[in-house]
């Protein structure tokens, strides 16, 4: 029986053997929620890059580009890192270059996995249905906040563990803790996360609407997956 583990921070990824695993990267507020929304709105491909400079150079080549650092958008980019900014006509068929504080780093760190997918509450159901039939172990990689674990990514990990616990072994303590945290929170995710440090930080940035949106489950059935250096729809 395959297993499902949870890596609570990209800084711990070296402790997990991902060579035979599908890695599901999650950064609920807001990188992977944005990516999922972008694909649901017709984006063709997303190129995750590590630095602002790389992102600018893609933009200069004519790509649309999105950047975020510390929850804010540097000037001159095409999106403001809110999922709502991807609900526009211009994204249809486009390839977008993206760099964020935590999410894109987690993706680029996972390259040795069998497959790297992007998860969010928005596509949780589609992701769980797809993963149920896979013959590999699964590692949910929480992007966290600058290396520290955060509540919302852990809750997503717990939600995915809950949906897959019949088909996969749950042995890892981080996975068990995430599952129990999610069970505690699931009837009212929004109130539960209201106390988290990251949400307080985001609320100071005035994005309550984004927060509520990113906690909605099963809005889209898109499955973003890495092919080479590019994220595409499966």
For the chain, the C-alpha Rg in angstroms (whole number) is: 16
Give the CA-trace dihedral at 216, 23, 83, 203, to 10 degrees. Answer: 70
Confirm if 141 and 32 have CB atoms less than 8 A apart. no
Q: Does 194 bind a second copy (CB under 8 A)?
A: no
Q: Specify the stretch interacting with a second copy by CB under 8 A; choose among 26-34, 43-51, 144-152, 203-211.
A: 144-152
C-beta closer to a second copy: residue 60 or 195: 195
* Sign of the alpha-carbon torsion through 142, 148, 154, 155: negative
Q: Does 33 bind a second copy (CB under 8 A)?
A: no
Q: Does 203 bind a second copy (CB under 8 A)?
A: no
Residue 80 burial (CB < 10 Å; 0-12/13-18/19+)? middle
CB of 201 to a second copy, least distance (A): 10
Q: Does 101 bind a second copy (CB under 8 A)?
A: no
Candidates 124, 39, 140; CA nearest to 83 is 39
Q: Does 109 bind a second copy (CB under 8 A)?
A: no
Among 19, 70, 173, 218, binds a second copy (CB under 8 A): 173
Among 66, 150, 157, 224, binds a second copy (CB under 8 A): 150
Q: Does 9 bind a second copy (CB under 8 A)?
A: yes
Q: Give the separation between CA 56 and CA 123, rounded to whole angstroms.
A: 29
Q: Does 10 bind a second copy (CB under 8 A)?
A: no
Confirm if 142 and 128 have CB atoms less than 8 A apart. no
- Residue 50 gets the label, from left (phi > 0), alpha (psi -120 to 50) or beta, of alpha
Q: Does 180 bind a second copy (CB under 8 A)?
A: yes
Among 91, 174, 224, 226, binds a second copy (CB under 8 A): 174
Q: Which residues bind a second copy (CB under 8 A)?
A: 8-9, 11-12, 15, 145-151, 154, 171-174, 176-177, 180-181, 184, 195-198, 200
């Amino acid at each position: 029986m395959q297993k499902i583990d949870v890596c609570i921070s990209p800084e711990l990824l070296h402790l997990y053997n991902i060579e035979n695993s599908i890695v599901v990267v999650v950064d609920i507020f807001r990188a992977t929620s944005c990516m999922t929304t972008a694909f649901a709105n017709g984006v063709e491909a997303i190129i995750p890059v590590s630095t602002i400079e790389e992102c600018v150079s893609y933009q200069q080549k004519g790509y649309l580009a999105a950047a975020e650092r510390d929850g804010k958008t540097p000037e001159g980019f095409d999106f403001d890192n809110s999922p709502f900014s991807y609900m526009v006509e211009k994204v249809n068929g486009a390839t977008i270059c993206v760099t964020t504080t935590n999410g894109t780093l987690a993706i680029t760190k996972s390259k040795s996995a069998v497959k790297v997918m992007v998860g969010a509450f928005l596509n949780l159901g589609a992701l769980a249905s797809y993963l149920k039939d896979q013959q590999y172990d699964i590692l949910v990689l929480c992007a966290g906040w600058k290396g520290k674990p955060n509540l919302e990514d852990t809750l997503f990990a717990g939600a995915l563990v809950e949906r897959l616990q019949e088909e996969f072994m749950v042995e890892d303590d981080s996975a068990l803790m995430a599952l129990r945290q999610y069970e505690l929170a699931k009837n009212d995710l929004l109130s539960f996360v209201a106390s988290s440090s990251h949400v307080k930080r985001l609320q100071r940035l005035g994005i309550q609407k984004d927060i509520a949106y990113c906690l909605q489950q099963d809005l889209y059935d898109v499955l973003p997956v890495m092919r080479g250096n590019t994220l595409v729809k499966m």
